[in-house]
Amino acid sequence: MMAGVAPHIPVLLDEVVAAVQPDAGKRMADGTFGAGGYTMALLSGGARVYAFDRDPTAIAAGAGMVAEHDRQLSLHQRRFSEMADELTALGVDALDAVVLDIGVSSMQRDQGERGFSLQQDGPLDMRMSKEGESAAEFLNTADEAAIADVLYHYGEERQSRRVARAIVAARPLETTGDLARVVRKALGHRPHDKKDPATRSFQAVRIHVNDELGELRAGLAAAEALLREGGVLAVVSFHSLEDRIVKRFLREASGAGRAVSRHLPGEVPGPAPTFAKLSKAIRPGAAEIERNPRSRSSVLRHAVRTDAPARPFEERLMP
């Protein structure tokens, strides 16, 4: 853990561990290593863990954990959408569990210089991998309509056009403070308001810059390809856009999302279900929320892989 950074508390940890049951001899992937909370729990159960993170800072911080758990843990600076490619290249063809904790980590949020936080003024960056287009580059070059679309679709900002117009008028924006002030002014923020109205815009820009929803779809598809029969997929999400994708993916993969009537002659049934035993949405209890307020919006869903062949990649990447 980096000096000056609040410790990351993995949410719904006991529930994730209960779902995947890490035991000696099992091989598991933590697709979102972060500060290593889930990985440590999997290692403690005896599992061999392949941990992924696109953030080079997280990979560097995890070097000590790798040294401590020689031959039981390996870290991979790759997107979790690339898990299947990476593991296949290593000769790993099947896993007993895949764990995903979607979105920005507490560690990233608490580092003001990364540009994720509303609470700390820093460069308007927001890139998890520290590569590609930054939030500042997007907001300072995109046209008003494109910015409005991002705010509406990824932040569910009802006044997206007003906010986009204010952003364009205020350019160039250089810091998180610049963006927060522009959004608050456009939406008429009052100091006593319970929720900062800039939160939705920050979420939207972050999701866009990191292609988080596209990554989630591709990561779920990779998990389907990697999991052996009886393997468990466990996904923790933090807002409705993510949870909707996970829920729909599992419903489609289990066959629950297909409407096929046995009364229609000649109708061809869909492919065999690739997941079964879908859990309901699991949320943190009052004690966990009190201990870790950031867990309040978290949702865990898990399911068990069947023996059916993985669906064609295009079908797994549903819209």
Q: Please report which confidence band the pLDDT of residue 119 belongs to, taking 50, 70 and 90 as the band edges.
A: confident
Which amino acid type is present at position 196? D
Q: Are residues 149 and 269 in the same domain?
A: no
Q: Give me the phi and psi of 38, to 5 degrees please.
A: -70, -40
**pLDDT tens column, 231-266:** 999 999 999 999 999 999 999 999 986 655 555 565
Q: Say if 2 falls within a structural domain.
A: no
Using CA atoms, how far residue 241 sits from 98, 203, 223, 246, 257, in Å, is 20, 11, 19, 9, 18
Q: Please report which confidence band the pLDDT of residue 271 belongs to, taking 50, 70 and 90 as the band edges.
A: confident
pTM: predicted TM-score of the whole model, two decimal places: 0.90
Domain closes at, from 168, 190, 210: 210
For 90-98, what is the mean pLDDT? 96
Residue 207 has pLDDT above 80, yes or no: yes
Region of poorest pLDDT, from 63-67, 129-133, 246-250, 298-302: 129-133
Query: Which CATH number does the domain housing residue 70 bear?
Result: 3.40.50.150
Q: How many domains does the chain have?
A: 2
Q: Are residues 93 and 147 in the same domain?
A: no
Q: Are residues 217 and 237 in the same domain?
A: yes
H or E element that contains 299: strand 299-305
As a whole number of angstroms, the distance between CA 273 and CA 271 comes to 6
DSSP 163-232: HHHHHHHHPPP-BHHHHHHHHHHHHT--TT-SS-THHHHHHHHHHHHHTHHHHHHHHHHHHHHHEEEEEE
- For the record, the structure tokens of 200 come out as 């939705």
What range defines the domain where residue 146 resides? 120-210
Domain closes at, from 210, 233, 259: 210
Residue of 172, 181, 165, 166 lying closest to 141 (CA atoms): 172
**pLDDT tens column, 59-86:** 999 999 999 998 999 999 999 999 999 9
pLDDT at 262: 52
**pLDDT tens column, 2-48:** 333 445 679 999 999 999 999 999 999 999 999 899 999 999 999 99
Query: Which CATH number does the domain housing residue 174 bear?
Result: 1.10.150.170
As a whole number of angstroms, the distance between CA 127 and CA 130 comes to 5
Q: Say if 246 falls within a structural domain.
A: yes
